[in-house]
Amino acid sequence: MQFTLVVYGAPHSSEGAATALRFARATLAAGHSIYRVFFYADGVHNGSALAAPPQDEQDLLGQWQSLQQDHALDLTVCIAAAQRRGLLSESEANRLEKPSANLAAGFTLAGLGQLAEAAAVSDRLISFGG
């Protein structure tokens, strides 16, 4: 079975992102595939390279990146939601004449069309709230 996950929750303000990560691991361990993980609304904060959780808290960014590297996951951040929240790739920072970029390695920016396409080709779309 092929899944697409939509994450609406910021990494440390709700359980949505951590739950999505656990679900992704379990899904892959069970032999299923994940077509795309789409980060939307406050969920775009999961892709911030500037996240620095205290040592006694989970490093969700690092865990998403490890999962992405191990399974070649498509970690897609909604470009409009990201720009509203100050999350930019290098090319977007240059285009918008901003001083720096902060999109973490392993994450890409894309529009809602990528979410619609993922929903169309996946067997299940599962969302994790904020």
Establish whether 78 is a catalytic residue.
yes
Q: In the numeric block, which tokens belong to residue 9?
A: 């929750």
Alpha-carbon Rg for the chain in angstroms: 14
Of 78, 79, 109, 118, which residue is the catalytic one? 78
Q: In the numeric block, which tokens belong to residue 39?
A: 């980060």
Query: Are 2 and 12 a contacting pair, CB within 8 Å?
Result: no
Query: Could you identify the residue written with the tokens 């970029």?
Result: 101
CA distance 78 to 85: 11
Query: Are 7 and 45 a contacting pair, CB within 8 Å?
Result: no
Number of CB atoms found within 10 A of residue 24's CB? 24
Instruction: Return the active site residues.
Output: 78
